[in-house]
Amino acid sequence: MFYFDRNFGFFLGPLTDNKYHKHYALQISVSTQSNLALSDKKGKNLFGKALLLPSKVEHALTCNTNQLTILINPLSSVGHYLKLKFDSTDPVVFNNYISDELLRTLDKFERNEWSFEMVCQSVSQILTTCRASLEDEKYIEDKRILKALDFMDIHFDDVLSLVRVAGYCNVSPTRFLHLFKEKTNLSFRRYQLWNKLVKSLPYLTKNSITDTAHAFGFSDSSHYTRTFSETFGVTPKFFLPKR
């Protein structure tokens, strides 16, 4: 079972055949019934009920029972706050109010007390509350980047150009690109790709990968599939209707 919103998505179910992969999304995974088992290419192994994975870490994650994996756009305001507060280049065991609320959400679903739609609403609310809490803690080094991320969140449905966002922040496009890369460790182009891919998902569930690629400005299905995998850690086939 999966769900995708503007700046986050999640997958609910077991992970029994997860090969080494990496993605640009920030990842939080929780499991109530058994420990998650994670290994990375550095030889690190982690076991726990809740794990946090930074962007671009090559890893394999397994869980034989239901687990909830949330993929967060690192270039959204909540993604940036999480990166600043829990800054790490390696996966870590995640133990705080965010993991507690996500575990409670998964537990409600597994007890058949909550529907999948209620899980979607809960995850969205948890991330919204998380953003507000972290904002209160002032985890921002450069207000211009926060201003840009908020602007991008609000105008997610628009095709935002570099010139427009830089102008909104009162800096030149060249200066903005430098600041953006320095503070987020990702490029403005990566934000644009996340935006395009998320918008393509409803179309993908009803059309072929090739048609989706062409409809959303990718050169071919290979380009779309490669970008999709780099961003989310799975191929577009994961979202195709099972036949």
Compute mean pLDDT per 10 residues along the chain, 243 residues long, and list them: 88 85 91 92 88 90 92 85 77 89 96 96 90 58 78 83 92 91 84 88 91 93 93 86 57
The structure tokens listed for 58 are 């090559």
- The predicted structure's pLDDT at residue 141: 58
Q: Tell me how far the alpha carbon of residue 243 is from its chain's centroid.
A: 27
- The predicted structure's pLDDT at residue 139: 47
- What residues contact 206, with CB distance under 8 A and at least 6 apart? none
- The predicted structure's pLDDT at residue 85: 76
Domains of the chain, first to last:
2-136 (2.60.120.280), 143-239 (1.10.10.60)
Measured distance CA(100)–CA(218) in Å, rounded: 39
Q: What angle do CA 83, 87, 92 make, to 5 degrees?
A: 105
pTM of the model: 0.84
Closest by CA to 159, choosing from 207, 191, 181, is 191
The structure tokens listed for 120 are 């979607």
Which residues lie across from 2 on neighbouring strands? 11
Does the CA dihedral 191-196-199-204 come out positive or negative? negative
- The predicted structure's pLDDT at residue 210: 94
- The predicted structure's pLDDT at residue 134: 61
Which residues lie across from 30 on neighbouring strands? 50, 68
Measured distance CA(35)–CA(170) in Å, rounded: 47
Classify burial at 87, counting beta carbons within 10 Å of its beta carbon; exposed 0-12, middle 13-18, buried 19 or more: exposed
Q: Which residue has the tokens 């909830």?
A: 68
